[in-house]
Chain A
Amino acid sequence: MNNLLFMPIVIPLITAICLILLWRQRVIQRLVSLVGCVSLFLAAALLFSFVAPGNVLAIQAANWPAPFGITLVADTFSALMVLVAAFMGLSVAIYSLATLDPERESFGYHPLYHIMLMGVCGAFLTGDMFNMYVWYEVMLISSFVLLTLGGERSQLEGGVKYVTLNLLASTLFLIATGMLYGTMGTLNLADLGERMRQPETLSDLQLGLMTTLPILYLLAFGIKSALFPLFFWLPASYHTPPIHVTAIFSALLTKVGIYSLVRVFTLVFIADTDFTHTILLVIAGLTMITGVLGAVAQMEMRRLLSFHIVSQIGYLLMGLGLFSPLSLAGTVFFMVHVILAKSALFLVGGVLHRVAGTYDLKKLGGFYRSSIMLSILFFLPAFSLAGIPPLSGFWAKFALVRAGLELGQYAIVTAALAVSILTLFSMTKIWAEAFWKAQPPGKVQVDADQISRTLASGQTALPLLLPIVVIAALMVIIGVAADPVLAISQQAANQLLDPTDYINVVLHESASLANSP
């Protein structure tokens, strides 16, 4: 059963190797890629079903006892993240069947995609700081190539910015990890967590450094997850690759950064939460506000949505900064919600681009009249993102805002609510420009025929629309029946705040568990 923990890493690896061996065999590659994604999703679902009752699973690579070996751990939060990541991996893989161009597909899109999924799952499951660094690099190098694959000028420009800042973040991550080892003598997260919970055994110097080091980690993870004021690489690069690449990036990459922040700031860096988590809260507010203000100014759909990624990251950080059971549950819930909503919006944007040939809101128009279905598919994620009941975003924001009110943090609550209104405003802008407005004359002509031609031919319509329909349906289901998701989020939050199980399973039980059949 514990070997299940390896599956989300091994399956993408094997798939990627097969795909490299099948270089340029495009039809077989597509098939293998889909099989890989489906198996990854099934493995993630199985893993989640073991963890969901409240168990924590851990395995030590090659049976080296913790904290000396490489540890993989799955608690509710990481298993949930792996599940969502695998689901998004599958959805975008299906969608990309319709939007991939032959050139990119022939030059390694599929294998890179799976290696990126491997890095993401590895980062979610690892129980060791240096190992996390390695998974980050796996994820980064494949995302670098996915971003620049095709070699258009804008892609290269975006790539230079993305690559430079992320390499800088990796260097900071490495420095921080070296210093962490120098301070504590261990890099195993559970071991670190246990020592931090016995502060009487630590010297003053260690305690002081464990309040300073988080800031270095905050910088490293902050660049990766696009926090204020470190987010500039994101809106400069995310709109340059093909839309399916943007969609999977927006779903997974920044969220891995936030996952790592949540993990280390609940498990390890708890020496002085008043100090560190207040900084997190301030940054959360500024991230929300700058992100949404950037979005309001944009008239290009992908750029607008890229700024919204930044803005939503602020909400995720807000839950961590408030640091209460309800707020962390809000963060977990929000994470699931925002991954679904954000990628659905990018995917709908891709369909609009497919029909009208542009992402420019000024040139788009008339979609409401020509396709009701597409309008609904945009409407659901857009208004879920803004937090309109009964969609998933409402409950996520409700949990965060309520946690903020309970703790008396009125400033951040005000910011969160104001940013919601601005989010609604910019979503309405897309709605009014692309859907409601009559079609601008002299521009690309979109009529119902063209849409139905694009969307009716089974070969493109099914892969284009099926993922969006499923994601939109999920958002409605999560919104209407929020209880199970809220319960899982609450359980994840409780495990984060009281990691006794996590520490025990890794340090004290895993040796016996790993030996049992």
Chain B
Amino acid sequence: MESLLAFVVGGLYAGGIYLMLRRSMIKLIFGLVLLGHASNLLIFTVGRLTSDQPPLVPDGAETLTEPFADPLPQALILTAIVIGFGMQAFALVLVKRMFLTARTDDVHAITTTDTF
């Protein structure tokens, strides 16, 4: 299971970076979204992939018995998903405003702040 997810994460990174290197601004944002998903899945994998093993101490025992899924990375992902959602929403609105102002989706056309 871990190796499958490793390939999924790797594929998402590759796709995200590929999209970010395109000239279209909307693809740039989609690339960022894919990278965000890849990172969340990566943290998910860090917390160990086990099914039916909740991190609850059984009756009479003092500690957890292996294997169990670590709940902390899952809590981290929840936070990261919410933050990522907000950031991506802002980025989408920004790109829309950019398109309405410049009438182009091409990142090579928006160079006025770099040239002098």
Verify A141–B87 contact, CB threshold 8 A.
Answer: yes
Q: How many residue pairs bridge A and B at CB < 8 Å?
A: 96
Inter-chain contacts of A298 with B (CB < 8 A): 116
Tell whether B43 is near chain A: CB-to-CB under 8 Å.
yes
Tell whether B5 is near chain A: CB-to-CB under 8 Å.
no
Verify A239–B113 contact, CB threshold 8 A.
Answer: yes
Inter-chain contacts of B79 with A (CB < 8 A): 130, 134
Verify A151–B91 contact, CB threshold 8 A.
Answer: no
Partner of A157, one of B80, B90, B98: B98
Inter-chain contacts of A239 with B (CB < 8 A): 113
Verify A300–B73 contact, CB threshold 8 A.
Answer: no
Inter-chain contacts of B90 with A (CB < 8 A): 141, 144-145, 163
Chain B residue, CB-CB nearest to A138: B83
Chain B residue, CB-CB nearest to A303: B116
In the bound complex, how far is the Cα of B40 from the Cα of A493, in angstroms? 36
Q: Dominant SS at the B interface?
A: helix
Q: Dominant SS at the A interface?
A: helix
Tell whether A160 is near chain B: CB-to-CB under 8 Å.
yes
In the bound complex, how far is the Cα of B20 from the Cα of A167, in angstroms? 12
In the bound complex, how far is the Cα of B91 from the Cα of A287, in angstroms? 28
Verify A178–B76 contact, CB threshold 8 A.
Answer: yes
Partner of A181, one of B39, B76, B114, B116: B76
In the bound complex, how far is the Cα of B101 from the Cα of A179, in angstroms? 40
Chain A residue, CB-CB nearest to B79: A134
Given A141-B86, A160-B98, A181-B72, the answer on whether A153 and B112 have CB atoms closer than 8 Å is yes
Interface size of B as a range:
20 to 34
Partner of A151, one of B40, B43, B97: B97
Q: How far is the CB of B7 from chain A (nearest CB, A)?
A: 17
Interface size of A as a range:
35 or more
Inter-chain contacts of B76 with A (CB < 8 A): 130, 177-178, 181
Q: How far is the CB of A278 from chain B (nearest CB, A)?
A: 28
Tell whether B69 is near chain A: CB-to-CB under 8 Å.
no
Q: How far is the CB of B55 from chain A (nearest CB, A)?
A: 13
Tell whether A161 is near chain B: CB-to-CB under 8 Å.
yes
Inter-chain contacts of B112 with A (CB < 8 A): 153-154, 157
Verify B94–A160 contact, CB threshold 8 A.
Answer: yes
In the bound complex, how far is the Cα of B98 from the Cα of A141, in angstroms? 18
Verify B39–A178 contact, CB threshold 8 A.
Answer: yes
Given A153-B101, A170-B87, A181-B73, the answer on whether A164 and B28 have CB atoms closer than 8 Å is yes
Inter-chain contacts of B101 with A (CB < 8 A): 151, 153, 156
Inter-chain contacts of B80 with A (CB < 8 A): 133, 174
Verify A237–B97 contact, CB threshold 8 A.
Answer: no
Inter-chain contacts of A157 with B (CB < 8 A): 98, 102, 110-113
Give the contacts of B71-86 with A (CB-CB under 8 A): 72-73, 76, 79-80, 83, 86
Verify A171–B94 contact, CB threshold 8 A.
Answer: no
Verify A167–B32 contact, CB threshold 8 A.
Answer: yes
Q: How far is the CB of B78 from chain A (nearest CB, A)?
A: 12
Tell whether A158 is near chain B: CB-to-CB under 8 Å.
yes
Verify B32–A171 contact, CB threshold 8 A.
Answer: yes
Q: How far is the CB of B11 from chain A (nearest CB, A)?
A: 15
Verify B46–A168 contact, CB threshold 8 A.
Answer: no
Tell whether A137 is near chain B: CB-to-CB under 8 Å.
yes
**How would residues 288 to 300 of chain A score, 1 for a CB under 8 Å from any chain B CB and 0 otherwise?**
0000000001111
Verify A168–B35 contact, CB threshold 8 A.
Answer: yes
In the bound complex, how far is the Cα of B113 from the Cα of A303, in angstroms? 10
Q: How far is the CB of A102 from chain B (nearest CB, A)?
A: 21
Tell whether A175 is near chain B: CB-to-CB under 8 Å.
yes
**How would residues 188 to 222 of chain A score, 1 for a CB under 8 Å from any chain B CB and 0 otherwise?**
00000000000000000000000000000000000
Chain A residue, CB-CB nearest to B107: A160
In the bound complex, how far is the Cα of B1 from the Cα of A74, in angstroms? 42
In the bound complex, how far is the Cα of B87 from the Cα of A181, in angstroms? 24
Q: How far is the CB of A344 from chain B (nearest CB, A)?
A: 24
Verify B46–A179 contact, CB threshold 8 A.
Answer: yes
Verify B42–A175 contact, CB threshold 8 A.
Answer: yes
Partner of B43, one of A144, A145, A181, A235: A181
In the bound complex, how far is the Cα of B102 from the Cα of A245, in angstroms? 23
Given A134-B79, A157-B110, A236-B113, the answer on whether A171 and B46 have CB atoms closer than 8 Å is no
Contacts A144-B90, A171-B35 known; list 6 others, CB within 8 Å. Answer: A144-B94, A157-B102, A168-B20, A174-B39, A174-B40, A175-B39
Binding site for B on A (CB under 8 A): 130, 133-134, 137, 140-141, 144-145, 148, 151, 153-154, 156-161, 163-164, 167-168, 170-171, 174-175, 177-179, 181-182, 235-237, 239-240, 297-300, 303
Ordered nearest first, which 10 A-B pairs have the shortest CB separation?
A178-B43, A182-B46, A157-B110, A174-B39, A156-B98, A171-B35, A137-B83, A157-B113, A175-B39, A158-B113
Complex A-B: 26 CB contacts under 8 Å: A130-B76, A137-B87, A144-B94, A151-B97, A151-B101, A153-B112, A154-B113, A156-B97, A156-B102, A157-B113, A160-B110, A167-B87, A171-B35, A174-B40, A175-B39, A175-B42, A177-B43, A177-B76, A178-B42, A178-B43, A179-B42, A179-B46, A181-B43, A181-B72, A299-B116, A300-B116
Binding site for A on B (CB under 8 A): 20, 25, 28, 32, 35-36, 39-40, 42-43, 46, 72-73, 76, 79-80, 83, 86-87, 90-91, 94-95, 97-98, 101-102, 107, 110-114, 116
